[in-house]
Structure 1
């Protein structure tokens, strides 16, 4: 149903959303990079196309959920379930992906944003024209390319002004209504402002105040004001429903400052080239998601990696849960906890925690009376089973939504055959491609053979 909020309340809420996303000043060129719909490639009709740099923070997560819905929702893990489908099925997968990202917020109500009226015809045509030109190797539409810079700036300003002046809110009381509304609104999400409409819907459904409570610095906008890149908090919001600013597991205490990471195993994973460069630490929850699908982060872009082999990920089990409860009391990652907190750890894991038994276990695991209990001794005592062994060879698929970063300028899924060597070879390293360096943060000994003989780009 349409919003019944007073117009002044809607305007105040929208102002908060704009400030949270863009900061106090929204540049015309940054806004223009985000003005596109969710449009599919001409070559592969389930692969989303990204027209300009910036909106990968939305497009790549949505693409990852499209993969998840195609491969793992109906019990058919064949790649054909993703690549050999009708246009109608592709649209269904897009609806399911948009729905899953919103529904995992578990909000009391969901808000979908739409445009109250059509903008000038030149505006509505741009997404389709841009897509055609991008995949044909052109940089912009001929009609726009010949215009002066002043005209371009005026057109972009009109876009921004018209967009924010014509937004309307639709409240969905439950997930059933949300799904129906998404189906009905799909053409609008595929049109000129579709990505922005979905972004605003996500922020409003989550709540501006709640997002500010979860990010590390509420004064920092979710989208970079200069380059238009989405922040890690925005990426985390789409992947996990939590707008935390870090990619490690649980919370970390750094000099008395509590820094929030992921609370649980994510549906979609995340690997980062920045971890190879030692700029960040990606935790177990992101490296081992529920499904073998990962976002790959470079310095400036997001792509998607996935496999049809579910054995690549470790399902949550008591042993894994124990490791993460233990890590909550080892916030600095030293591999040990104070022996004084053993009773509390055992209670959280529903282990026998009678005082006499706890004292016996404390004496056994801290026989030298150092006042610490190591993670290895704790796991060997209470959870001695080994996790299942991973496959040593498997197929991977990579997606990059930017046409000029793809072979032949066509967005599609590129296949690789991967082998995990028994030992990491250090003497003869010939492949130092960014994508391999990124994957080595999860699989240190991985070797890749790309079927088209071309190493895909992370940018």
Structure 2
């Protein structure tokens, strides 16, 4: 088949959004493009685990892996050790279908290569990339043939274009806003950013991980607006660069994408009780407080109290507000601390909070798709025995945990310890 004379305009727009405005379909993108030039490939050493050949495409591969786990463990109730080739292929199809449904508003745009390419030329890739548009209700009838194409070379990248074009370039630019990164893939190291991950998990490419909307200097920043199937935890929270909201910390299923500075991995369990209901009075009050504690400092200016009360649908009349200011800030420091706030409006909340997880033990699995990050370069799940203890002490501070992974997990479970049942220990 001859090369297309011109690249489709939708493809060109998606290219600039994904790789950055400096790149185009007429110029080679280089090493970063090569890093993404793989298909969805399963490991020979673990039948349900996807392989990531090089650094970069984890922002697509790891969410796909998360949905594979969700479909196998919870939809099909299959033991991971007993997965057949047919079951894992079906799980991959269902995973990619779930992601497309997440980002779709009624129609899907499917990007596939019109022919297999013999090189990693980005110019040739974009010339041979074709689009098919159809209703979301038709996905199930076609997902098998699409997935077959996406398992071939360039498949992960073709699926990425399908995600972006299904959501729509203009919609994604609007989701990101003026405060977010202008491109979805870092043009230095090639890893996807938070907007891309949020797009896949939530259907909107917001760059923020907090719940709902926050106002900063008169500007409304949109966060995550609903509970999702898959969760997210990040090292950046342990380092106090951000605070992940309950919608991502408490997903529908006990499956969390784990973010480091430049790579994503996965932690999962089959214990559904780990997904705590985010609508408890404590969590509702905390969400209202956090809306005005934008930097996660644990306090708000006393002048914001009327706004917090209004968010909680509580009395915000002037006399009552002044009375509460005196109770919550008796020393006239000008700030209200979160513990005092929560004890006033949700009495006994600290004692009741997450009691189901105190002194709890459960099994977890960790997945890292990069070959070089696995023992003997064999991509497999690592099994761990986790325990969440009742008593908290300074030794368990997230920022001082002995490994980066434990630092991340302590942003959700402050007293968690994990005994990994194989060596070397996961860092």
Give TM-score, length-normalised by structure 1.
0.78
- 386-395 or 17-26, which deviates more: 386-395
2:279 to 317, 330, 333: 317
Distance 1:297 1:197 in 2: 24
Counterpart residue number, 1:130: none
Structure 1 residue 311: Cα displacement:
1.0
Tell me whether 1:240 sits opposite 2:211 in the alignment. no
Tell me whether 1:451 sits opposite 2:421 in the alignment. yes
Equivalent positions of 1:13-28 (< 5 A) are: 13-23=10-20, 24-25=22-23, 27-28=29-30
Cα displacement string for residues 55-101 of structure 1 (whole angstroms, at most 9, x for unaligned residues): 00100111111111111224x3xxx5233111010000001111111
Counterpart residue number, 1:131: none
- Shift of the 407–260 alpha-carbon distance from structure 1 to 2, 3 Å rule, reads same
2:47 to 45, 48, 51: 45
1:156 to 120, 142, 151: 120
Structure 1 residue 378: Cα displacement:
2.6
Counterpart residue number, 1:377: 344
- Shift of the 109–321 alpha-carbon distance from structure 1 to 2, 3 Å rule, reads farther
Cα displacement string for residues 116-156 of structure 1 (whole angstroms, at most 9, x for unaligned residues): 2333xxx3xxxxxxxxxxxxxxxxxxxxxxxxxxxxxxx43
Distance 1:259 1:346 in 2: 19
- Shift of the 307–250 alpha-carbon distance from structure 1 to 2, 3 Å rule, reads same
Equivalent positions of 1:128-147 (< 5 A) are: none
- 395-404 or 246-255, which deviates more: 246-255
Report the number of matched residues: 402
Counterpart residue number, 2:212: 250
Equivalent positions of 1:68-107 (< 5 A) are: 68-74=70-76, 76=77, 81-107=79-105
Equivalent positions of 1:165-314 (< 5 A) are: 165-175=127-137, 177-217=138-178, 220-314=182-276
Distance 2:341 2:198 in 1: 31
- Shift of the 341–30 alpha-carbon distance from structure 1 to 2, 3 Å rule, reads closer
Tell me whether 1:35 sits opposite 2:37 in the alignment. yes
Cα displacement string for residues 323-354 of structure 1 (whole angstroms, at most 9, x for unaligned residues): 3663476354636785545774355xxx8x8x
- Contact 1:342–1:362 (CA under 8 A) maintained in structure 2: no
What SS does structure 1 have at the residue aligned with 2:59?
helix
- Contact 1:290–1:313 (CA under 8 A) maintained in structure 2: yes
- Shift of the 322–425 alpha-carbon distance from structure 1 to 2, 3 Å rule, reads closer
Counterpart residue number, 1:4: none
What SS does structure 2 have at the residue aligned with 1:171?
strand
Distance 1:318 1:248 in 2: 17
Unpaired runs of at least 5, structure 2: none
Counterpart residue number, 2:357: 390
Structure 1 residue 407: Cα displacement:
1.4
- Contact 1:107–1:206 (CA under 8 A) maintained in structure 2: yes
Unpaired runs of at least 5, structure 1: 1-6, 124-154
Distance 1:55 1:404 in 2: 15
- Shift of the 248–414 alpha-carbon distance from structure 1 to 2, 3 Å rule, reads same
- Contact 1:251–1:331 (CA under 8 A) maintained in structure 2: no
Structure 1 residue 50: Cα displacement:
0.2
- Shift of the 313–14 alpha-carbon distance from structure 1 to 2, 3 Å rule, reads same
- 30-39 or 283-292, which deviates more: 283-292
Higher relative contact order, chain-length normalized (CA < 8 Å, sep 6+):
1
Cα displacement string for residues 5-54 of structure 1 (whole angstroms, at most 9, x for unaligned residues): xx98x722111100000112263111011010000000111100000000
What SS does structure 1 have at the residue aligned with 2:92?
helix
Structure 1 residue 362: Cα displacement:
6.0
